[in-house]
Amino acid sequence: MTRPFFLLRLLLFAIAAALVTASCAQQVPDVRESRFMMGTLVQFTIADTDEDTALAAIRAAADEMQRIADAFTIYGDKSNTVKAFNASKPGNSVILPQEVTDVLQTALQISKQSSGAFTPAIGSLSLLWGFSLPDPPEQAPEEIAIVQALRGVDSSLIAFDGKAWKRLHADTKLDFGGIAKGYAIDRGIDVLREHGIKNAIVDAGGDLRAIGSHSGKPWRIGIRHPRETGKTLGWLEVHGDISIVTSGDYERFFMYKGKRYHHILDPQSGHPARRSISATVIAKNATLADAWSTALFVQGAKELPMLNSKGMQGIVVDADQKLHTGKMSLVPFHSGNNEGNGE
């Protein structure tokens, strides 16, 4: 081997080694942080960002999400305008903050589109069952109390004159439990982006929004099996900006005389919905996915064509544990047990 050729090979080897070293240096570890809020563990995952930047962004996003939780909750001792509305005399005008008005108008629109399967007017029923109270229920309320609460569970009993809101029945109370978590996730993502974050997941107990990618690869999101602990129904590979929200009967429930009573209430019957045990909605934002996952759970698989017509997609496990999927136009669904990197 001649000396010039040897030196050339040595130079090429050095360049290759440098490229490999640079490539490895670019593989920044994910930054993960968790906060407990909105009755669940919220996990922030940020990829391809230095730790200090990621942690500062997470703190700001978590603060914003907690602010939203405090503004929309109907539980606890801290006052807010939603509680003030619920305590107002029927027929009296109440001016709500623009943020609350915007979310309420979205909720009422979805209520109409879902034929009342989702409604923000379910507050009296939610409080009666008490699944979100510090001491969870151990048995169902008396039927007469359920019938009384149902008198106010009607979105048409919430009126808006362009400036102020009124509740038109004493038993009509707001409950944003089926939409506020999704809205909080959306705002969390907004704040992360304001801090320069491009690749992240905000996961609030299985309700999540993913943006960007995971080190250049799609985020892999597992959908929890509603009856087999530690297993998944399948997974979704996502990138760009997508929200995935699952409503299930396994998060908050109690067993009474061999029957499962869970927190997703049917606005028509006043009892826990029985057509599904799990319902997942994939949409462009978490606010829509959150509300529609409740509607899909209540209505069951028959609601899947409606979702598709609105540019969303759904996955339902019915009461007989049969899996149903609508047209998967946004994200392909891969059935089977597989670990995800986002949940």
Residue 28 confidence (pLDDT):
85
Residue 326 confidence (pLDDT):
87
The SS3 of residue 282 is strand
Per CATH, the homologous superfamily of domain 242-338 is: ApbE-like domains (3.10.520.10)
Domain ranges of the chain: 89-167, 242-338
Q: What are phi and psi of 110, to 5 degrees?
A: -70, -35
Nearest to 70 by CA among 59, 81, 61: 81
For residues 51-84, one letter each, b for 16 or more C-beta atoms within 10 angstroms of the residue's C-beta and e for the rest, the string is: eeebeebbeebbebbbebbebbbbeeeeebbbbe
Residue 140 confidence (pLDDT):
95
Residue 34 confidence (pLDDT):
97
- Tokens linked to 318: 């019915």
Residue 260 belongs to what H/E stretch?
strand 259-262
The whole-number mean pLDDT for each consecutive block of 10 residues of the chain, a chain of 343 residues, reads 41 44 63 95 97 98 98 96 98 98 98 97 98 92 98 98 97 97 98 98 95 96 94 95 97 92 97 98 98 98 95 97 91 76 51
Residue 12 confidence (pLDDT):
40
Sign of the four-CA dihedral 269, 271, 274, 275: positive
- CA 137-127-144 angle, to 5 degrees, is 80
Question: Helix axis angle, 98-113 relative to 286-299, nearest 10°?
Answer: 30
Predicted TM-score (pTM) of this structure = 0.90
Architecture of domain 89-167: Orthogonal Bundle (1.10)
The SS3 of residue 31 is strand
**Concatenated DSSP letters of 103-136:** HHHHHHHHHHHTTTSS-TTBHHHHHHH-TTSSS-
The CA distance from 75 to 78, in Å, is: 8
- CATH topology match: 89-167 vs 242-338: no
Residue 20 confidence (pLDDT):
42
Residue 341 confidence (pLDDT):
55
